[in-house]
Amino acid sequence: MGKTGQSDNPVCGNRASPVKRYTSPQLSKATPQLILLLYLDAGRFAKLRWEVKVILHTLIVLAALLRFVPHAASFSPVFAVLLISGGYLRRSSAMSVAFAAFVIADLVFTPLVYHTAIGWTQLFVWLGFAAVATFGPLLKSGWGAKTIAVWGGPTAFLLIADFGVWLGSGMYPRTLSGLSLCYIAALPFYRNALLASILWTAVLLPAYLTWERHLSLRRALASGHTA
């Protein structure tokens, strides 16, 4: 409330004051500069996000290819990469890129490396890998959520991929007991996948976050020099 008893709110007070306030020469002079700074900052942020997308998509492709490098059964950085990508990319983007990367890698390298044909049950493996990415956003929360992520990703993969084994391999009777036997037979692989998910996430997640902070700081410093 001013000395004249009028409110400072432009709706209730002097009707001329808003016009004077927003058409002042100082504000009019500064407006183009403010717009330019906002535009430049938006461009730098978009470039930052673009670089993040490139590195995460590249990691997904590398993870798909690393499956064809000799390693202990189910012990690879695949699950960690999918979790991190699912957490720091849009979930739909992480799932679609993961699905495409693993499909293409399998179609190209499975006949070359393992000299075997790909059956229709491989679809369940690809869906399992894509499902791992859905647990990624939990990595942004506390330790409890992170634990669910590194445990839930390999578990979802096991349930989906080995369901396909039970359904189409002919190794197990198509009964509930046959499905149980299939999952029991997969437990050694599940153990390795779970250990790999924990260990590789513990290594790759801090490394990724450090890189992202470094990239953000570099952009901020560049913004300060050019502003």
**pLDDT tens per residue, range 64-103:** 888 888 877 778 888 999 899 888 887 777 778 888 888 8
Alpha carbon of 210 to those of 41, 44, 184, 213, 223: distances in Å?
22, 19, 39, 5, 20
Is residue 45 pLDDT above 70, yes or no?
no
Task: Using pLDDT thresholds of 50, 70 and 90, give the confidence band for residue 193.
Answer: very high
Residue located via tokens 């700081």: 217
Alpha carbon of 184 to those of 11, 35, 43, 70, 192: distances in Å?
72, 62, 52, 25, 14
Average pLDDT, the chain: 78
**pLDDT tens per residue, range 3-44:** 444 444 433 444 444 444 444 444 344 444 433 333 333 344
For residue 95, what pLDDT is reported? 78
182-198 mean pLDDT: 95
| % of the chain at pLDDT higher than 70 | 74
Q: Which helix (H) or strand (E) holds 114?
A: none
